[in-house]
Amino acid sequence: MGPGAPAATRVVVLAGGLSHERDVSLRSGRRVAEALRESGAEVEVRDMDADLLRVLRDDRPDCVVPLLHGETGEDGAVREVLELVGLPYVGSRPSACRAAFDKPVAKAVVQRAGIHTPVGVTLPHETFRELGAAAVMEAIIASVGLPLFVKPARGGSALGCTAVREASALASAMVGAFAYGDTALVERFVEGIEVAVPVVDTGAGARALPVVSIEPDGGVYDYTARYTAGSTRFEVPAKLPDVLAAECARVAVLAHDTLGLRDLSRSDLIIDADGTVWFLEVNVAPGLTETSTVPLSVGAAGLDLGDLVADLVRAAMVRSTQPASPTTGADPS
C-alpha cells in the first residue's frame, strides 16, 4: 500500500465457539476471512475465549463479523456483548436473533405474517417424563399425524434431526433431539423440494438471492450430506417455475423482515406438490462454508462473496455512526 492510500478496513471474524457446530463455524470463518482479504480488508479470525473482549476493546477493529453457529453464536448473546462494547458488527440485533434462533418462536412469528409453516408442537423432555412418554407421543401422532420431523428447538446443521415415518420410530427420534437440547420441536413432515433462500440487505432493503434447491444423494440432508463435498446435488437457481421462485423469494424476505432481521439471513423452505411454500426455519448466521448454500447463491447472483461481506461490513460501519435505532428486534414495524 503506498503512502496516502486509504487504510484497509480492519475486520475481526469470530469463528469457533463451544457449540456443537464449532467445526462448521471454523469452516465458515476460514472461508469468509479469505474472501474478505481478497476484497482488500485486513482480517483477523478469532475464537471465543476469555481474551476476546480485551482484544476487541484494545484493538477496536472497524467491524466484527460474527460467524459463530449454534447456541451462543445465534441466540444473540455474542451480539449483545458487541453492543455493550460499542463495536459495529454484521448481522441481526440480539433480540431478533433470540426470536429467530428459537425455531418454535420464529414459526409463530412468521405464521402471524401469513406464512405457511408445518403444524407442530414444542415440548421439553420433562413433559414426557411427567406425563408418560407413550401417552404424550400418542397424543402428538393423533394430533399432528405422520410422517413427522423431530428437531431440537434450537440449533442447526441438522444435528439431532430425524424424519419419523412410523409411530415406533418416534421415541428414538425424541431421544436424538434431546441429546442436543432440553426442548424439541415435532412438526408435520412436508414432502417436497427442499430449498434455501438467502436474503441480503446492504443498505437498500432486503432482497432475496437466487433460490438453491438441495438434493442429497441419500435423500436426507443430514450432517454428512451437508459437509461432504460431492454428496449432495445443488441446483442454483433452482429449476422452478418463475412464479414459485418468486414465491420462495417473497416468503424469505417476508420472514427476514417480520423477524426484524438485518444484513443476512437464510430461510429453509419446502415446496410441496401443490406448490405451497412452507417455512421451516431461518438462520441468522447461515453457514458460509465451502459446501454451504449461501455462497452458491451469492455466486449465482453474479456477486463475489468477499465483496458482498465487505458491503455488509461497510453498511454496519455506516449504521454505527447513525443515531441509535430501537433495539427491540422481532419488530415488524
Partner 1 sequence: MSEHDRGPSDPPPGRPAVRGRAHGNSPGPGGSTRLDSYVDRYAARTQGMTASEIRALFSVASRPEVVSLAGGMPNISGLPLDVVGDAIADLVSTRGTVAMQYGSGQGDPHLRDQICDVMRLEGIEAHPDDVVVTVGSQQAVDLVTRIFCDPGDVVICEAPSYVGALGVFKAYECDVVHVEMDEHGLVPSALREAIATVQAAGRRIKFVYTIPNYHNPAGVTLSSERRPEILKICRDADVLVLEDNPYGLLGFDEEPYRALRADEADGVIYLGSFSKTFAPGFRVGWALAPHAVREKLVLAQESATLCPPSFSQLAVSAYLEKHDWLGQVKQFREMYRERRDAMVGALSDMMPAAAHWNVPTGGFYVWLTLPPGLDAKAMLPRAVTARVAFVPGTAFFADGFGSQSMRLSYCYPTPERIREGVRRLVGVIEEELELRATFGTGLGEAATLELNRGYDGPTSDLT
Q: Which residues of this protein are in contact with partner 1, per CB under 8 A?
A: 18-24, 26, 47, 49, 125, 128-129, 133-134, 157, 159-162, 169, 171-172, 174-176, 178-181, 210, 218, 222-224, 226-237, 290-291, 295-300, 302
Residue tagged active-site, from 16, 19, 21, 213: 21
Active site annotation includes 157: yes
In the complex, minimum distance from the CB of residue 233 to partner 1, in angstroms, rounded to a whole number: 5
* Residue 78 CB-density burial (10 A; 0-12 exposed, 13-18 middle, 19+ buried): buried
SS3 at position 85: coil
In the complex, minimum distance from the CB of residue 38 to partner 1, in angstroms, rounded to a whole number: 12
Q: Which residues, 6 or more positions from 32, have their beta carbon under 8 angstroms from its beta carbon?
A: 13, 65, 67, 288, 305, 306, 309
Active site annotation includes 51: no
In the complex, minimum distance from the CB of residue 108 to partner 1, in angstroms, rounded to a whole number: 26
Measured at the alpha carbon of residue 310, what is the angle toward residues 44 and 282, in degrees to the nearest 5?
A: 95
Q: Kindly report whether the peptide bond that precedes residue 147 is cis, defined as omega within 30 degrees of 0.
A: yes
In the complex, minimum distance from the CB of residue 209 to partner 1, in angstroms, rounded to a whole number: 11
Active site annotation includes 287: yes
Active site annotation includes 268: yes
Residue tagged active-site, from 283, 292, 306, 329: 283
For 31, the grid coordinates are 472461508
Sign of CA dihedral 316, 285, 295, 109: negative
Closer to partner 1 by Cβ: residue 141 or 169: 169
Residue tagged active-site, from 19, 25, 39, 157: 157
Residue tagged active-site, from 268, 292, 311, 329: 268
Contact 70, 156 (CB under 8 A): yes
Residues 274-304 as b or e (16 or more Cβ within 10 Å = b) = eeebbbbbbbbbbbbbebbbbbbbbebbebb
Active site annotation includes 281: yes
In the complex, minimum distance from the CB of residue 291 to partner 1, in angstroms, rounded to a whole number: 5
Closer to partner 1 by Cβ: residue 59 or 290: 290
Active site annotation includes 266: yes
Q: How far is CA 317 from CA 199, 206, 234, 303, in A?
A: 20, 18, 34, 21
SS3 at position 267: strand
Contact 78, 15 (CB under 8 A): no
Largest Cα–Cα distance in the chain? 74
Closer to partner 1 by Cβ: residue 221 or 279: 221
Active site annotation includes 16: no
Closer to partner 1 by Cβ: residue 77 or 317: 77
SS3 at position 47: coil
Closer to partner 1 by Cβ: residue 108 or 166: 166
Closer to partner 1 by Cβ: residue 20 or 103: 20
Active-site annotation, residues: 21, 157, 227, 266, 268, 281, 283, 287
